[in-house]
Amino acid sequence: MKRIILSGFVLLASLAGVAQTAGSAKAGSVAEAKSYKSELGYSFAYPQDWVLMDTGASLPEVKQQAAEAAKSDEGKQSANCAQMDMTLRHVSASGMIVAMALPFACYGQRLPPEDLAGFGASVASGLSQPFDIQFSLTKTFHSGSHDLWVERDQATAKADFSQSFIVETVCGLLNKAAVCWVGIVKDGGDLATFEQGQITLDGDKPTALVPAGVFTAGKQ
């Protein structure tokens, strides 16, 4: 996949990282329900001590920056269509979970399966702007009727090297959109919330977003 297609996602991924490290995102109302259901064909379950946030006010400026930076019509279209579909934050501000999407109805075409890894890697690379990445692990695995790609990064915040994070990006190609779920967390408990969160994809049975042992199964 050409990198210009994902210019919007690089900036949206950077926004997710900046919001976490700077603590500048403003929470909306606390969600009583423990599951977020997206119109794009997935749902994600989360504990009550996580807050569903409203980041809508930040997105128009970020998307405008991405569109202006794009060097092709295809890149501008990607920037205009990219959206932050779900944003969750732990009440202690120790972790953040974001879902970013490229709706195919807006983009005008579906992404083929062979583009999954390149799509995921490009989205994950956007997170490198506010972070220094020490090492990474990647894997592609099956989840119901879908293939998912995952990258786990051990990172420190460039603004404060004493702040260590685990940044994990999981991407899949759904019927309506290409979607990446990103967890930016400080400890194993929040990482478990992200990885073990029950997700449904296009009507498949609920399953953990990232199966236990996915990085140790087979060759990396």
The larger pLDDT score, comparing residue 84 to residue 29, is at 84
**Mean pLDDT across the stretch 29-39?**
70
> φ and ψ at 169, to 5 degrees?
-120, 125
Cα(50)–Cα(96) distance, integer angstroms? 9
Rg (CA), the chain: 16
Query: What count of other Cβ atoms lies within 10 Å of the Cβ of residue 182?
Result: 27
Q: pLDDT per residue over 76-128, tens digit each?
A: 566 678 888 898 988 887 788 999 899 999 888 899 999 999 889 888 887 77
Can you tell me the mean pLDDT for 197-201? 96
Tell me the pLDDT of the chain averaged across its residues: 79
- Write down the domain spans for the chain: 3-208
Predicted local distance difference test score (pLDDT) of residue 76: 59
Query: Of 49 and 24, which is predicted with more confidence?
Result: 49
* C-beta separation of 75 from 7 below 8 A: yes
What is the pLDDT, as a whole number, of residue 193? Answer: 92
Q: In a 3-state reduction of DSSP, which class is residue 201?
A: strand
- The predicted-structure confidence for 138-176, as pLDDT tens digits, reads as follows 999 999 999 999 999 999 988 888 889 999 999 999 999
For position 114, what pLDDT does the model report?
A: 94
The pLDDT of residue 16 is 53
Output the pLDDT for position 126.
Answer: 75
Of 170, 183, 176, the residue nearest 209 (C-alpha): 170
pLDDT tens column, 63-73? 555 555 555 55
3-state DSSP call for residue 197? coil
Question: In which band, very low, low, confident or very high, does the pLDDT at 129 lie, cut at 50, 70 and 90?
Answer: confident
Buried (b) or exposed (e) across 150-168, using 16+ Cβ within 10 A? bbbbebbbeeeeeeebbbb
pLDDT higher than threshold 50 for residue 31: no
Distance CA(109)–CA(73), nearest Å, equals: 14
What is the model's pLDDT at position 157? 87
- Rounded to whole angstroms, the Cα distance separating 139 from 211 reads 11
Could you give the CA distance from residue 179 to residue 74 in angstroms, rounded to a whole number?
18
Q: pLDDT value at position 69?
A: 54
C-beta separation of 12 from 84 below 8 A:
yes
CATH architecture of residue range(s) 3-208:
3-Layer(aba) Sandwich (3.40)
* pLDDT value at residue 75: 53
pLDDT above 50 (res 133):
yes
Whether 40 shows a pLDDT value over 90: the answer reads yes
More confident residue, 19 or 94: 94
